[in-house]
């Protein structure tokens, strides 16, 4: 009965709103007092700008009472001059406002006649006088398309190009000004002063490129001016080339001084700069080849720089990439087998006897100074519980035995289907209470004033290649497009992550000198809500937020550019779905749970429902509910997250949710600490069995997890066979989908590209630097590119 009454009330309110709307429309159409019906109605066509109207001519008859010209259907007569004796007799016209009705008018009674193209010319000139160049150009375009060679059009175009070029020159847009002047010269070669203007702008433009150290662009401009204008620019060209030669030789001298001091890094930088300024500088390529042999420097363009020193327990894409340079774990995932990950130990080997409760770690002398006694102490020391990766293993250990110094035998309380995944910690000698965990990887960060990060080999690094990098530079680029230009010009050797659209294109058509490959582990793009916010703590509100994002459009339209790329798809929970249904990494994903679709009406309804619940709860506790003024979305400074978050802001604004974006560190795990409502995270799930529970523990405090969710996480870790793993993962998948503690956006299969001169990268690595000890840089291609 209550629902029936509510429906009647709702229908009554809707009827009243419609009635009010009709009254308003009637008042608008007929006036407040009824007398506006007599007022002249303005035709809809006349409300448009002239450029968008259907053609008509204007004719003013001297006997007209209101002295207003009539709009007539174009009659296509030659220009009319009032009082002229050349036009006698009568003319038949049809009024635009009275289709089908024709009138006879004597020419002697016509005071003025303006054909439609004349109206366009006058309007174009008016816009030109008002410096509305874009609009004036549109009028000239219509004139050229429909009334070619109409008198006055060419003159207007000439003035438009010159005036617009002057305006762009004064605004500092020298390249645009030069383009307009050259177009004016092409169309009007006899116009005086054009050559002088082109030379003036050209001088400024080349000098600006030199001052901005855009050497390649400066050289191309000089060559273009020489080919196009010859002697006109002769003196200036000689001065420019002399300046470039002087600058290049200065850098060569600086490089020789650095070579004498055996500072090969600075010498390489100076030599590269010398060749960038003048590729033909004497002895430049020979000196570069020698320096690359002495100091192989690998330069990598990145669109997601991340933190140079990520925490050891990082799960982010950029963090796991950089971590591999500064840390080596006891056991590292290197790929996938029929069931889960495959592991290798850089310090020895991990043996699993037939008894699934037992696990043996055998260390090799030449690989690590750590002994079995060091590992035993590390397992048992309470301070090791601060290491979140080691803390997952120690509660499972029932007994520890050290045999022959280099072997540790572990007895587990419960069998684990993939115990190697629990050995992803740094083996330490001596004090295990030191945090952050000391570095033990092949490279160390180098302090640099330049943008990006530099890493150099650590003392005693086991770099097996003959030309292993003496330095690895991560150079930040805003977009993949900018990074590709740097790769093609020889500025960098590699791009660590391509945007999906570029990856799809290069996967189909790869240039011969480049190699395109993908990472084996997919990247999950998720939003972590600030569950301390009362709105985001409400599950209905969280569901409403996810329903309000058109994730398919963001992925397919914005990121993939309408293309298809294997492994890039929506997901219904932050669990990897793999590239194909039989991909081993997708063992935890339940295909029967479909991702939530884009439903803005459902989003609004759920948000309203959540607000009602929150308001009632506040009233019951005698507290005031603070309204949400805006949503703050924090995201790392990466290309994909930037594009995605900009799209999310647009969708939320359509729902009446004001938003703002904030760039935060990719390693932040607490939205409250970041002072945001939603935290965008790019998570790389290598081994779902271990990484998915670790992700929820890392980003969602236990206080916000339901007891059922915590139980599902514990049961997953206690699975004794792969059948139990899958069944318990599917239960966790359902809870993650329903509780929505983390918003799943989509999964990307990231790709990278590098020059063939860089060897040893490996095929489909888990992370970029998985085989960095084997990297080998051949200098020949670098020298040839310069």
pLDDT digits (tens, 9 = 90+) for 672-699: 999 999 999 999 999 999 999 999 999 9
Overall size of the chain counted in residues: 786
Residue 21: band (very low, low, confident or very high) from pLDDT cuts 50, 70, 90: very low
Does residue 11 sit in helix, strand or coil? helix
Say whether pLDDT at 371 is over 70: yes
Query: For position 88, what pLDDT does the model report?
Result: 66
Pick the residue with more confidence: 524 or 26? 524
Would strands 110-114 and 297-302 be described as parallel, antiparallel, or unpaired?
unpaired
Average pLDDT over the chain, rounded to an integer: 86
For 760-782, give the secondary structure using H, E and C. CCCCCCCCCCCCHHHCEECHHHH
Query: For position 45, what pLDDT does the model report?
Result: 66
Residue 176: band (very low, low, confident or very high) from pLDDT cuts 50, 70, 90: confident
Query: For position 544, what pLDDT does the model report?
Result: 97
pLDDT tens digit string along 540-554? 999 999 999 999 999
Pick the residue with more confidence: 137 or 534? 534
pLDDT tens digit string along 282-310? 999 889 888 988 999 999 999 999 999 99
pLDDT tens digit string along 632-670? 999 999 999 999 999 999 999 999 999 999 999 999 999
Supply the Cα-derived Rg of the chain in whole angstroms: 36
Residue 592: band (very low, low, confident or very high) from pLDDT cuts 50, 70, 90: very high
Query: For position 442, what pLDDT does the model report?
Result: 94
CB 455 within 8 A of CB 445: yes
Query: For position 42, what pLDDT does the model report?
Result: 66
pTM: 0.76
Say whether pLDDT at 125 is over 80: yes
Closest CA to 495 of 767, 753, 785, 296: 753
Say whether pLDDT at 35 is over 70: no
Report the distance separating Cα 251 and Cα 256, nearest Å.
9
Report the distance separating Cα 591 and Cα 144, nearest Å.
59
pLDDT tens digit string along 467-508? 889 999 999 999 999 999 889 888 899 999 999 999 999 988
Query: For position 369, what pLDDT does the model report?
Result: 84
Say whether pLDDT at 22 is over 60: no
Report the distance separating Cα 704 and Cα 696, nearest Å.
10
CB 597 within 8 A of CB 549: no
Report the distance separating Cα 122 and Cα 116, nearest Å.
10
Pick the residue with more confidence: 149 or 473? 473
Query: For position 79, what pLDDT does the model report?
Result: 57
Say whether pLDDT at 33 is over 80: no
Report the distance separating Cα 316 and Cα 665, nearest Å.
11
Percent of the chain whose predicted confidence (pLDDT) is above 70: 91
Say whether pLDDT at 534 is over 90: yes
Report the distance separating Cα 106 and Cα 87, nearest Å.
10
Q: How many CB atoms sit inside 10 A of residue 660's CB? A: 11
Task: Give the range among 1-5, 143-147, 527-531, 717-721 with minimum mean pLDDT.
Answer: 1-5
Percent of the chain whose predicted confidence (pLDDT) is above 90: 52
Residue 465: band (very low, low, confident or very high) from pLDDT cuts 50, 70, 90: low
Rounded (5°) CA angle 483-484-490: 90
Span 445-459, mean pLDDT? 88
Query: For position 779, what pLDDT does the model report?
Result: 64
pLDDT tens digit string along 704-739? 999 999 999 999 999 988 999 999 999 999 999 999
Q: How many CA atoms are closer than 13 Å to the CA of 382, on its beta-carbon side? A: 0
Query: For position 69, what pLDDT does the model report?
Result: 87
Does residue 170 sit in helix, strand or coil? helix
Highest mean pLDDT (candidates 32-36, 76-80, 206-210, 380-384): 380-384
Query: For position 37, what pLDDT does the model report?
Result: 43
Highest mean pLDDT (candidates 136-140, 203-207, 336-340, 667-671): 667-671
Pick the residue with more confidence: 194 or 437? 437
Report the distance separating Cα 298 and Cα 777, nearest Å.
8
Distance of CA 374 to the CA centre of its chain: 45
Say whether pLDDT at 769 is over 60: yes
Report the distance separating Cα 685 and Cα 683, nearest Å.
6
Say whether pLDDT at 81 is over 80: no
CB 485 within 8 A of CB 502: no
């Amino acid at each position: 009965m209550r629902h029936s009454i509510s429906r009647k009330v709702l229908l009554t309110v809707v009827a009243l709103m419609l009635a009010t709307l009709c009254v308003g429309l009637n008042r608008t159409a007929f006036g407040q007092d009824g007398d506006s019906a007599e007022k002249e109605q303005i035709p809809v066509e006349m409300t448009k700008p002239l450029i968008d109207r259907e053609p008509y001519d204007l004719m003013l008859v001297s006997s007209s009472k209101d002295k207003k010209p009539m709009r007539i259907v174009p009659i296509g007569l030659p220009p009319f001059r009032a009082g002229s004796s050349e036009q006698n007799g009568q003319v038949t016209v049809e009024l635009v406002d009275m289709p089908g009705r024709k009138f006879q008018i004597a020419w002697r009674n016509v005071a003025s006649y303006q054909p439609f193209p004349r109206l366009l010319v006058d309007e174009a000139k008016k816009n030109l006088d008002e410096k509305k160049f874009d609009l004036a150009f549109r009028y000239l375009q219509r004139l050229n398309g429909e009334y070619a060679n109409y008198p006055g059009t060419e003159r207007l175009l000439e003035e438009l190009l010159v005036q617009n070029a002057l305006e762009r020159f004064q605004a500092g847009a020298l390249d645009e000004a030069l383009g307009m002047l050259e177009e004016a010269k092409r169309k009007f070669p006899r116009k005086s002063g054009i050559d002088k203007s082109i030379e003036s702008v050209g001088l400024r433009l080349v000098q600006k490129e030199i001052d901005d150290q855009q050497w390649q662009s400066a050289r191309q401009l000089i060559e273009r001016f020489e080919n196009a204008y010859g002697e006109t620019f002769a003196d200036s060209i000689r001065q420019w080339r002399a300046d470039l030669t002087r600058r290049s030789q200065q850098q060569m001298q600086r490089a020789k001084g650095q070579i004498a001091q055996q500072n090969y890094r600075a010498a390489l930088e100076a030599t590269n700069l010398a060749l960038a300024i003048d590729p033909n500088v004497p002895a430049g390529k020979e000196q570069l080849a020698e320096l690359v042999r002495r100091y192989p420097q690998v330069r990598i363009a990145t669109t997601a720089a991340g933190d140079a020193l990520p925490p050891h327990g990082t799960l982010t894409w950029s963090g796991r990439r950089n971590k591999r340079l500064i840390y080596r774990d006891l056991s590292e995932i290197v790929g996938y087998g029929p069931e889960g990950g495959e592991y290798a130990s850089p310090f020895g080997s991990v043996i699993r006897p037939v008894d699934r409760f037992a696990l043996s770690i055998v260390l090799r002398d030449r690989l690590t100074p750590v002994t079995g006694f060091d590992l035993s102490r590390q397992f048992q020391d309470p301070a090791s519980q601060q290491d979140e990766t080691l803390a997952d293993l120690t509660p499972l250990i029932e007994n520890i035995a050290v045999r022959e110094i280099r072997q540790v035998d572990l007895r587990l309380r419960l069998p684990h289907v993939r115990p190697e995944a629990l050995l992803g910690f740094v083996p330490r000698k001596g004090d295990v209470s030191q945090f952050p965990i000391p570095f033990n990887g092949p490279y160390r960060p180098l302090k640099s004033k330049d943008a990006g990060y530099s890493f150099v080999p650590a003392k005693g690094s086991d770099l097996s290649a003959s030309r292993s990098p003496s330095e690895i530079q991560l150079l930040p680029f805003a977009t993949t497009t900018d990074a590709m230009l740097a790769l093609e010009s020889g500025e960098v050797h590699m791009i660590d992550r391509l945007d999906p659209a570029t990856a799809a294109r290069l996967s189909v058509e790869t240039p011969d000198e480049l190699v395109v490959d993908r990472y084996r582990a997919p990247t999950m793009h998720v939003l972590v809500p600030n569950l301390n916010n009362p709105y985001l703590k409400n599950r209905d509100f969280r569901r409403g937020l996810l329903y309000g994002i058109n994730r398919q459009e963001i992925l397919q339209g914005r990121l993939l550019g309408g293309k298809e790329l294997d492994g890039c798809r929506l997901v219904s929970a932050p669990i990897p779905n793999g590239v194909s249904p039989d991909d081993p990494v997708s063992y935890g994903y339940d295909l029967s749970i479909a991702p939530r679709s884009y439903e803005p009406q459902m989003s609004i309804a759920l948000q309203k429902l959540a607000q009602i619940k929150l308001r009632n709860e506040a009233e019951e506790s005698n507290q005031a509910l603070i309204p949400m003024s805006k949503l703050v979305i924090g995201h790392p400074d990466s290309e994909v997250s930037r594009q995605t978050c900009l799209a999310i802001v647009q969708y939320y604004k359509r729902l009446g949710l004001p938003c703002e974006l904030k760039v935060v560190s990719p390693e932040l795990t607490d939205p409250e600490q970041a002072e945001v409502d939603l935290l965008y995270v790019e998570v790389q799930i290598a081994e779902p069995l271990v990484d998915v529970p670790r992700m929820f523990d890392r980003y969602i405090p236990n206080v916000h997890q339901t007891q059922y969710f915590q139980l599902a996480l514990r049961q997953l870790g206690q699975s004794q066979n792969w059948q139990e793993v899958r069944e318990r993962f599917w239960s966790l998948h359902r809870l993650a989908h329903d509780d929505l503690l983390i918003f799943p956006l989509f999964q990307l299969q990231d790709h990278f590209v590098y020059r063939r001169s860089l060897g040893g990268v490996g095929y489909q690595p888990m992370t970029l630097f998985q085989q960095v000890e084997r990297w080998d840089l051949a200098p020949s291609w670098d020298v040839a590119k310069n």
